[in-house]
Amino acid sequence: MSIRIHGDRPIKTLAGLATRPTPSKVRAAVFNILQSRVRDASWLDICAGSGAMGAEALSRGAKQVVGIELSAIACRLINENWQKIARGEQRFQVIKGDAIKVLSKLPPQTFDLVYFDPPYQSQLYEPVLKSLSTLLASEALIIAECDRLRPLPDQIGDLVCCDRRQYGQTALAMYKLL
């Protein structure tokens, strides 16, 4: 199976719903919101799934993309897709593992943009969002994708919700540092 990203480039995805790609209308909306913030940004893709969001970030000029994904098969596919998209000056890394554990072990670095899309029914939202503050640039933006029927809190740890959007069953909560 494949989907198309910015520039009409296809990327491979796994069959089934195990790594549910972010719907194209939501991807387009996210990158319309971010517009000029992506170029030269450092992007963190948590629960990367198909890797589509990181691939979009690379295709739009992010200088660095780090993806975290639990599935080994998905990690191999993400790595393959990102290799095809990244240009020489762009760096990317795909890390296999539990998001909470991986985040606590990342080397010191900061991210400008974070996309977080766990399985909607998971209990990952609050622990992962609370663990991000030390990894964020001062003007960082975090976008958490969730089910519109299970909205996320207005404040989680050092993060405050600054915007909310809804696209069908998908909701986006955008956070920034207090």
The answer to whether residue 148 scores a pLDDT higher than 90 is: yes
Buried b / exposed e over 16-41, threshold 16 CB at 10 Å, is eeebebbbeebbebbbeebeebbeeb
Supply the pLDDT for residue 24: 83
pTM: 0.92
The answer to whether residue 1 scores a pLDDT higher than 50 is: no
Supply the pLDDT for residue 18: 55
Supply the pLDDT for residue 53: 95
pLDDT band at 50 (very low <50, low <70, confident <90, very high): confident
Supply the pLDDT for residue 110: 96
CB 1 within 8 A of CB 21: no
The answer to whether residue 136 scores a pLDDT higher than 60 is: yes
| Per-residue model confidence as pLDDT tens digits over 55-84 | 999 999 999 999 999 999 999 999 999 999
Buried b / exposed e over 91-103, threshold 16 CB at 10 Å, is ebebebeebeebb
Domains of the chain and CATH, by start: 2-177 (3.40.50.150)
Supply the pLDDT for residue 23: 77
At position 133, the amino acid (one-letter code) is S
The answer to whether residue 6 scores a pLDDT higher than 70 is: no
